[in-house]
Amino acid sequence: MTDNPLYSPEIEEAVIGDLLINPAAFNEIVLDTNDFYIKRHRWIFQAWQKLRENGIFPDIATVVGQLEDDGKLKEVGEAAGVSVFLNRTPNSINAADHVKKLKEFSNYRKVVSNSEKLLREIRNGRNSDEIHAIIDTITNASLGEETQNARYKIRDAAYALQHQQQPEFIVDRLIAPGSVSLLVGPEGVGKTNTVLSCGVCVALEKPWVGFVTKHRKVLVVDEESGDDRMALRFSAALLGELGDEKIKMEYVSLTRFNLRDPVDAVLLQDLIEETGAGLVIIDALVDIMPGGDENAVKDVHPVFMRLRKIAEETKAAIVIIHHTNKAGTYRGSTAMGGAVDLLIMAERKGGNSRIDFEIKKARDIEPFRFAAEMHFSDGQMWLTESEPRDSIKRLGKSQAYVIRHLIENGPSLISEITDHADTCTDEAARRAVYNLANLKMVERIDEGGPGEKATYNLTDNGKKYAEREGITA
């Protein structure tokens, strides 16, 4: 059988044989002349079709006669050139399968033809409406007749009852196949390193900060770091998890995908399918919607609709990095939050290594918090599980002042603490010292004898709180 992806002589011959052996098998099957690539096959089909349209039974004799009337009998090899198809197709049992394969080749040719036309129109500077019309044509051709214009599928209760499986997570409780997630945080919080660490663990099927993972190929679409910087970051994350060059994880840099353009959405989907990625990381949202207004629904929503479609059709989980605004929430239109399956906020206090994550929105789970420590050593980077912030009692303003004072000044008399209070009253600072002592975050370190002035210092718990909150001298 031919290896040509655009047509198969054997399949075309089988369909011609089916047409001649059992015309009735094609009462419910629609064929078109362009479904055949080889000219003599087209001429035979046209003769067969004319006979059917004129109410004449199309057998060998009548088809040969019609070809003679059309002046094509000699070109197809006379009567012997028609009857040979009967010898190659002993029966029509597989007619439907033959037609399906014929249609597949026909659709491939349509896609190629329209793709070439699309490239010409883009080079010629055609307007977006004309280009989108060609894209629609390509899409319909690639889908085939059975699914053209099928924008929805009606499901009934029986279908629902047969499909009650719970989501199968790639990263337990967080990332599921076919989902779109948004990781949001301020600049410098460690978002890129976080997702690279997660990606490496998924590719190696290793636990990530306490979450079980399932192996998937990973693709990173880097639109910010550039090839050299991404190579350093990728290798650091890989070495941090003891991975090697055999890992099923790849990246592309500065591709300039613009998902406001449906052409680029098709190209991104092609890339995902080409690599076979099950987890796709995009860094960052602003870079894949250049020129778009993050605050405008009309610019944001189409991008997320395309991401949703890509995730659904490829069954890949897509994780997009995004930035916070001055208020500390995600930057841009609220349509973003509504469009994703998972929205995670990342926060890091001061210059410490601990990152706190809070799930602000999730479709399949109850929101929760988790945390990780980020480590760097000898060209390696890795994350480890840490205690979530919500397990630590949050302190009030006066208590936070006392912690800060002791960090900056070390052991202090209670009078020194109250005299320097700058964010609360003297009395509030005094009460805060006693409250912190009850919480075992500060302790009295003098002998405590008669007339002894009370001197306080931080306990290990107090120092731990200060570190986690980024309170430094």
Check residue 248 and report its DSSP letter. S
Instruction: Return residue ranges of the chain for CATH 1.10.860.10.
Output: 1-147
Q: What are the 10-residue block averages of pLDDT along the chain, 473 residues in total?
A: 72 90 79 89 93 89 92 90 82 81 84 69 61 58 46 77 80 94 94 97 96 96 95 96 95 93 86 94 95 90 93 95 87 89 89 88 88 93 84 74 92 92 90 86 80 85 83 75
Backbone angles phi, psi at 323, to 5 degrees: -110, 160
What pLDDT shows up at residue 389? 64
Q: Residues with Cβ < 8 Å from 439, sequence gap 6 or more?
A: 393, 461
Query: Which residue has 């789970």 as its token pair?
Result: 365
What pLDDT shows up at residue 449? 62
Instruction: Return residue ranges of the chain for CATH 3.40.50.300.
Output: 180-390
Instruction: Return residue ranges of the chain for CATH 1.10.10.10.
Output: 397-468
Whole-model pTM: value is: 0.57
The architecture of the domain spanning 180-390 is: 3-Layer(aba) Sandwich (3.40)
What pLDDT shows up at residue 131? 57
Q: Which residues of 384-395 are buried (b: 16+ CB within 10 A; e: fewer)?
A: eebeebeeeeeb
What pLDDT shows up at residue 453? 82
What pLDDT shows up at residue 394? 65
Token reading at 97: 């399968």
Q: What is the CATH number of domain 397-468?
A: 1.10.10.10
Pick the CATH number of 1-147 from 1.10.630.10, 1.10.860.10, 3.20.20.70, 3.90.700.10: 1.10.860.10
- Give the pLDDT confidence of 177-217 residue by residue, as tens digits: 999 999 999 998 999 999 999 999 999 999 999 999 999 99
- Give the pLDDT confidence of 22-74 residue by residue, as tens digits: 888 787 677 888 899 999 999 999 999 999 888 898 988 999 999 999 999 99
